[in-house]
């Protein structure tokens, strides 16, 4: 999979994982038949219906971010180097903000080449 052009995202806390997957997909510029997955903390597949606020509550790191890895199916079970891409709910950008000020939890995304 290609690297993302942005490393931090600020998204609304009510955004679902399905919607966040769409945001990441649009940034990756993938074809309609190309699949990828989001793993929280590089190991957990969470329900696509949970909100970013729920993901933040359950998986936030001590630094205040949630780390999400995007990977293609071929990568599962393989070792590989990943790229860490911080993201936070609300506005897309490269700034590291405390998104809870605006009601948005912080999220970081990592990518594995696939």
Tell me the per-residue pLDDT of 92-101, one tens digit each, with 9 for 90 and over.
Answer: 322 233 334 4
Structural domains in the chain (count): 1
pTM: predicted TM-score of the whole model, two decimal places: 0.65
| pLDDT band at residue 104 under the 50/70/90 scheme | low
Structural domain includes residue 7: no
Domain membership of residue 98 as a residue range: 17-111
Tell me the per-residue pLDDT of 9-21, one tens digit each, with 9 for 90 and over.
Answer: 888 999 999 999 9
Q: Give the Cα separation of 34 and 24 in Å (integer).
A: 13
pLDDT on residue 90: 34
Token pair 């931090």 is at which residue? 8
Structural domain includes residue 77: yes
Could you tell me the CATH number of the domain that includes residue 77? 3.10.20.90
pLDDT on residue 31: 75
Tell me the per-residue pLDDT of 30-42, one tens digit each, with 9 for 90 and over.
Answer: 777 888 889 998 8
């Amino acid at each position: 999979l290609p690297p993302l052009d942005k490393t931090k995202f600020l998204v609304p806390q009510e955004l679902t994982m399905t919607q966040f997957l769409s945001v990441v997909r649009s940034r990756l510029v993938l074809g309609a038949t190309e699949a990828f997955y989001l793993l929280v903390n590089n190991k957990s597949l969470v329900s696509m219906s949970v909100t970013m606020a729920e993901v933040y509550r359950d998986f936030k790191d001590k630094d205040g971010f949630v780390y999400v890895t995007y990977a293609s199916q071929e990568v599962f079970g393989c070792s590989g180097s990943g790229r860490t891409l911080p993201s936070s709910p609300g506005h897309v950008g490269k700034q590291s903000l405390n998104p809870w000020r605006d009601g948005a939890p912080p999220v970081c995304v990592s990518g594995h080449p696939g």
